[in-house]
């Protein structure tokens, strides 16, 4: 049976499942995840199946199951599941005869529709149509509708539906059971509380049934469950409609700060009464309008390509970026799997600043600002990590959860293929480039927006505090008479305990250089702010250290062949033939034959490392150095991380390798949208989706910011005839239209004149500017 993901050729907004296969549940649960940034719900079917993973997450509600586990987003009680019986037999598509099956996600509206005909042994036939969405207009609301048509025969239907709190995070139960209520004989409410963080979840649901004969019902309350059971009949030719409306509120919600649980329960009930009065169709219309206003009408992207999949890919990426991003609350950030699965426990990595933040910085700067404010609010945890490692300043955690949690990386991971023992996860201890990655995100945001208020109230402090860490982290080498950074993991996580990783050393020095500039600027031009930060961070003392050390930091320079050593020993390690592994459809197959210790001694790279450095800091390197390093490192890169392909694709476009760039682009968009049907089981690849936007706008649109100056140098792949995108620059919206022959920059909104660079020449635009490419 071939993979069944289908891109609807008539619409650039629809992805489809064309037949049911129980083995592929995880794929569709992830790629058809629904949400609005406040909550995320996996795209499970309503009726249960063995092998499914039912997850509902509310952003920021982290809990620690016990002392032996790290904090994670808890899988809250499920509202989606319905147990459905037809003529006393459970609806089960893996056993019954099914025809005309189709499930689709409309990316434009966020609605999932699943349709099929179900044939029974007694020659009865029913047509089912399931619809549901998570509201973008009312962030707490979920709406579901089931339409059951009796095509042949008169059929009896039974539905159990309510709130199921018997779910776990892979066995870890995060909730203690709370109160259950039934109001007016139909509104069901259940409250649960997390075991360690003491967050109360109030869930309320109601059902409405129309055109159902001989309807009867009763409520059942079980351990961690409360359901309504319904029985009714559907005559031949008739359609019964079963609707379910639900909402979720928590004591962590900013709008409920200071309220009692009883007040939140009352609010949830009152809201749901109004929701029920509105009805499914009105709620969907309002949600679709919110999607258009907040997402699709803002900085739209249009691709004219010979392959319609390319346009669907950016729509898919933008949809998921907004589903997963808690734009409503600066105490929260984006998980590496968004809100689509238990993978990485909902934790935030460098994925945000390097791969996802650029999308928001250039299209939704207010969301980018909120994501960076999360880092500012997390400085206390960064201080704890630094001091715990005997360093000064702010050392950001490799994995972040709630702002007060500090480091949340698990200590132990998968089994070693050779020893059979659990592998220690060293990232939380020694993958330290995250600290300068955060500063990179801050700097990029400030350069693109000109947001001086953020810089003064938060940005300066982040940059200065992190430079204070790096200065204390440097190690003096008497032998080499320089400062080094030893025993780290760089972006290439196949190289543990290395010394002088190029990416880490370059970005640490850059971080300190930024701090020196800020110190001097503030001392001269903003004495009040300088005195405030000097008192808080002891700047006079650390400034002297920065000046003494910054030019003595060891920076791996290109060797005689132009190759920048990834670390002190990489270029001396053995080289093996990676072609069989790189050609395999699955990632990580190298570890079917080697363990990490063995791979550590090979010239094998997991993802872009030196090449990421060149991509992010391109003005530090000549084109010859870029090409030399591309030719050396790309063949040795496994792309075993979903972060890798987008960097390589955008960099290849910069280097004029457009055919290869497009090939990598297609591989990147297939990480989630492609035919590998287990690639997304644990959740969507969040950073890869941010990378899709970067490949298009940074890669083919040629947008960069170099030393604060906007640059636009487009180059389209052969398959594309036209690319239209928008970005915001210092509050001005620019629309860029690119063809093979020329590109046009148009000011859409804003009154400022915008200056940009194109191939070394300066252009200014207040209305429109057309520049020929050939």
pLDDT in tens, 404-434: 999 999 988 777 777 777 778 899 999 999 9
In the predicted structure, residue 585 carries a pLDDT above the cut 90: no
pLDDT of the residue at 250:
98
pTM, full prediction: 0.97
pLDDT, tens digit, 9 for 90 and up, residues 84-97: 999 999 999 999 89
Question: Would 366 be classed as within a structural domain?
Answer: no
* Residue 92 within a domain: yes
Number of independent structural domains in the chain = 1
Please determine, for residue 457, whether its predicted confidence score (pLDDT) is greater than 70.
yes
Phi/psi zone of residue 214: left (φ > 0), alpha (ψ -120 to 50 degrees), beta? Answer: left
**Residue position matching structure tokens 């389209």:** 716
Nearest to 716 by CA among 706, 701, 727: 701
CA 734/CA 540 separation, integer angstroms? 42
pLDDT (mean) for 670-693: 95
Asked if residues 204 and 246 have their Cβ atoms less than 8 Å apart, the reply is yes
pLDDT at 10 over 90: no
Residue 247 belongs to domain spanning: 32-296
**How many Cβ atoms sit within 10 Å of the Cβ of residue 415?**
12
Mean pLDDT, residues 323-331: 98
Query: Element (H or E) spanning 155, and its range?
Result: strand 155-164
Average pLDDT of span 430-449: 98
Using a pLDDT cut of 90, give the percent of the chain over it.
92
- Residues 735-739 have a mean pLDDT of 98
Which CATH number does the domain housing residue 122 bear? Answer: 2.70.98.40
Using pLDDT thresholds of 50, 70 and 90, give the confidence band for residue 645: very high
Could you give the CA distance from residue 58 to residue 76 in angstroms, rounded to a whole number? 8
DSSP state of 550: G
So what's the pLDDT on residue 58?
98
Q: Does a structural domain hold residue 156?
A: yes
pLDDT tens-digit readout, 356-414: 999 999 999 999 999 999 999 999 999 999 999 999 999 999 999 999 999 999 988 77
pLDDT of 4: 59
CB 137 within 8 A of CB 289: yes
Mark whether 493 is an active-site residue: yes
Pairing label, strands 742-749, 732-739: antiparallel
Distance (Å, rounded) from C-alpha 250 to C-alpha 208? 25
Is position 77 within any domain? yes
Tokens of residue 605, six digits: 């790279």
Q: Concatenated DSSP letters for 634-692?
A: GGGB---STTHHHHHHHHHHHTT-HHHHHHHHHHHHHHHHSS-TTTTTT---HHHHHHH
Residue 196 domain flag? yes
pLDDT of residue 1: 55
Q: Is residue 227 part of a domain?
A: yes
In a domain, 731, yes or no: no
Question: What's the half-sphere exposure (Cβ side, CA atoms, 13 Å) at 475?
Answer: 10
Sheet of strand 82-86, all strands in order from the earlier edge strand to the far edge: 89-90, 82-86, 155-164, 225-234, 213-222
Exactly one of 493, 496, 657, 713 is catalytic; name it.
Answer: 493
- Is 136 within the bounds of a domain? yes
Q: How confident is the model at residue 2 (pLDDT cuts 50, 70, 90)?
A: low
CA distance 716 to 659: 10
Q: Rounded to whole angstroms, how far apart are CA atoms 610 and 628?
A: 11
């Amino acid at each position: 049976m071939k993979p069944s993901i289908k891109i609807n050729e008539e619409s650039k907004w629809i992805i489809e499942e064309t037949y049911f296969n129980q083995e592929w549940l995880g794929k569709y649960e992830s790629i058809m995840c629904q949400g609005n940034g406040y909550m995320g719900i996996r795209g499970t079917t309503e009726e249960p199946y063995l092998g499914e993973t039912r997850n509902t997450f509310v952003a920021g509600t982290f809990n620690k199951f016990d002392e032996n586990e790290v904090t994670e987003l808890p899988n809250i009680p499920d509202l989606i599941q319905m147990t459905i019986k037809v003529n006393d037999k459970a609806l089960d598509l893996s056993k019954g005869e099914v025809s005309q099956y189709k499930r689709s996600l409309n990316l434009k509206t966020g609605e999932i529709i699943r349709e099929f005909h179900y044939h029974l042994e007694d020659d009865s036939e029913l047509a089912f149509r399931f619809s549901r969405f998570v509201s973008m207009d009312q962030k707490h609301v979920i709406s579901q509708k089931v339409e059951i048509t009796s095509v042949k025969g008169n059929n009896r239907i039974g539905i159990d539906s309510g709130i199921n709190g018997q779910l776990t995070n892979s066995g870890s139960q995060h909730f203690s059971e709370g109160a259950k209520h039934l109001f007016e004989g139909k509104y069901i409410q259940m409250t649960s509380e997390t075991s360690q963080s003491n967050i109360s979840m109030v869930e309320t649901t109601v059902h409405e049934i129309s055109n159902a004969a001989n309807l009867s019902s009763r409520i059942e309350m079980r351990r961690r469950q409360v359901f309504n059971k319904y029985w009714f009949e559907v005559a031949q030719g008739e359609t019964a409609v079963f609707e379910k409306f639900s909402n979720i509120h928590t004591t962590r919600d900013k709008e409920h700060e200071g309220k009692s649980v009883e007040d939140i329960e009352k609010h949830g009930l009152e809201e749901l009464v109004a929701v029920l009065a509105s009805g499914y169709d009105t709620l969907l219309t309002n949600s679709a309008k919110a999607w258009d206003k907040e997402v699709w009408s803002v900085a739209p992207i249009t691709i004219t390509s010979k392959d319609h999949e390319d346009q669907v890919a950016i729509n898919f990426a933008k949809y998921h970026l907004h589903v997963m991003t808690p734009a409503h609350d600066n105490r929260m950030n984006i998980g590496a799997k968004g809100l689509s699965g238990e993978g990485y426990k909902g934790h935030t990595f460098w994925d945000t600043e390097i791969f996802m933040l650029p999308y928001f910085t250039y299209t939704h700067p207010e969301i980018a600002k909120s994501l960076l404010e999360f880092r500012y609010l997390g400085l206390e945890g960064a201080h704890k990590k630094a001091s715990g490692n005997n360093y000064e300043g702010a050392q950001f955690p490799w994995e972040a959860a709630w702002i007060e949690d500090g480091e949340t990386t698990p200590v132990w991971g998968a089994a070693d293929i050779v020893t059979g023992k659990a592998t220690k996860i060293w990232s939380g201890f020694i993958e330290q480039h995250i600290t300068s990655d955060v500063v990179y995100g801050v700097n990029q945001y400030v350069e693109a927006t000109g947001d001086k208020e953020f810089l003064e109230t938060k940005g300066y402090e982040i940059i200065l505090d992190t430079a204070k860490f790096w200065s204390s982290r440097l190690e003096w080498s008497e032998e080499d008479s320089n400062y080094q950074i030893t025993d780290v993991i760089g972006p290439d996580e196949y190289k543990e305990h290395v010394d002088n990783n190029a990416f880490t050393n370059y970005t640490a020095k850059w971080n300190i250089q930024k701090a020196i500039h800020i110190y001097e600027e503030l001392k001269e031009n903003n004495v009040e702010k300088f005195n405030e930060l000097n008192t808080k961070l002891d700047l006079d003392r650390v400034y002297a250290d920065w000046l003494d050390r910054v030019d003595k930091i060891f920076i791996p320079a290109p060797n005689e062949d132009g190759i920048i050593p990834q670390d002190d020993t990489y270029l001396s390690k053995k080289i093996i033939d990676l072609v069989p592994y790189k050609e395999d459809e699955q990632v990580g197959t190298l570890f079917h034959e080697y363990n990490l210790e063995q791979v550590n001694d090979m010239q094998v790279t997991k993802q872009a490392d030196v090449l990421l450095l060149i991509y992010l800091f391109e003005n530090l390197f000549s084109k010859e150095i870029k090409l030399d390093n591309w030719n050396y490192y790309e063949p040795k890169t496994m792309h075993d991380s979903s972060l890798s392909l987008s960097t390589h694709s955008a960099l290849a476009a910069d280097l004029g390798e457009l055919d290869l760039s497009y090939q990598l682009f297609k591989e990147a968009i297939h990480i989630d949208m492609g035919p590998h049907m287990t690639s997304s089981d644990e959740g969507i690849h969040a950073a890869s989706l941010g990378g899709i936007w970067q490949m298009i706008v940074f890669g083919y649109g040629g947008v960069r910011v170099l030393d604060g100056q906007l640059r636009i140098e487009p180059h389209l792949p052969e398959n594309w005839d036209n690319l239209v995108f928008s970005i915001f620059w210092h509050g001005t919206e620019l629309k860029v239209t690119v063809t093979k022959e020329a590109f046009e920059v148009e000011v859409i909104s804003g009154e400022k004149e915008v200056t940009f660079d194109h191939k070394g020449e300066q252009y200014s635009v207040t209305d429109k500017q057309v520049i020929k490419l050939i």
